[in-house]
Structures are given as C-alpha cells and as structure tokens.
A = this chain, B = another copy of it.
C-alpha cells in the first residue's frame, strides 16, 4: 500500500484540493473525501475543525505571499515601472509551483468562498492589490483598469482557446495586455 508520503492531514488537504477544484466546494461531501482516504467522516474532524477550515489551510500560504507582494508595492514609488513590476511578480506567483491549482480552485469557487473566512481574506487581498496598482490615480477609470489587469492574469487561463498553447505563452499574453492597461493609469487628462 504505502499510500503516500505521510500524515493524514496532508493527504486530506491533497484530496480536498483536488475534489473541491473538480466539482466545487459544496458539491464535494466529507464522506467522499473520507472514503478516498479509507477513513471515517468523523476522522476528518480530528484534523480540521470544520469543512471551512480545510479551505483555510489551503489558502493560508497563498495569503501570505500576497501580503508580501502588497507590502513590497507599498514601499515603492507609485510609478508605471512599479505597477509593471507588481503585476509581473503577481503573474509569476500565479504560474509558479502548485499555487496555480490553489488559484484555479479559488477562481472556481469564488461564490461559496464569500461566506468562508478564507474567501473574504482572499477578496480583501485582491482589492488591496488592485489598490496598489492604481496608487496615485484614484479615478474610477483607473480603479477599473487596475481590476482588469488582475483579471487579465486570471482569465488568460480559460479565455484563451488556442491549441497547444503553453503556460508561458499565456503568461506573456496576459502581461502584454496588462501592461497596456497599466500604462493608461495615472495619465494626465482624460484622453
């Protein structure tokens, strides 16, 4: 058997992330997760206080990295160069390691997550990121552009339908479009 490397807690997280992303949070029952691991539903409650808390544990790492990004940006001058660097770093983190899967899960479960603590924190960080992206220009248009810049990175995963396109190419396209949006922030005049 030698199922996987280790502790039950980690195995629960792995299975939960997979099923939540595939079928959604609400559609995935704890019974389903437990069965895959060969334990009882009640066993899950030894490792996590609730179903909600499983999600929290998945998102925590991601939250920390976003906090770092936001803090970094707040320390830089509010220039176009900073905005470009910020979205570049954000895209890097989105396409790096196993975080894409966490974000994919998040993307798929935004609604449900609204009522979950982790979801609210995540939304909060996105808002702050957007706020950093239009620092020095708080016009409505700038706010909208900042939000769309983040969307550009996210939606490059599903909005672009091209056979055989690589993750790197998706990232490049996303940053190209993002850069154009960012360039319009902080411009004097309405042109």
- Interface, chain A (partner B; CB < 8 A): 23-27, 108-112, 114-115, 130, 140-141, 143-148, 151-152, 155-156, 159-162, 165, 169-170, 173-174, 176-177, 180-181, 184
Contact = CB atoms under 8 A, between A and B. Distances in A.
Given A24-B115, A130-B159, A174 B144 contact: yes
A149 to B, nearest CB: 9
B140 A24 contact: no
Given A111-B109, A145-B177, A177-B145, A151 B155 contact: yes
A110 B25 CA distance: 13
Each complex incorporates copies of this chain amounting to 2
Contacts of A165: 140
A7 to B, nearest CB: 29
B112 A140 contact: no
30 contacts: A23-B115, A24-B111, A24-B115, A26-B26, A27-B115, A108-B111, A109-B111, A110-B110, A111-B112, A140-B160, A140-B165, A140-B169, A141-B173, A141-B177, A143-B159, A143-B161, A144-B155, A144-B156, A144-B159, A144-B160, A144-B174, A144-B177, A145-B177, A148-B148, A148-B155, A148-B159, A148-B177, A151-B155, A177-B181, A180-B184
A179 B156 CA distance: 20
A108 to B, nearest CB: 6
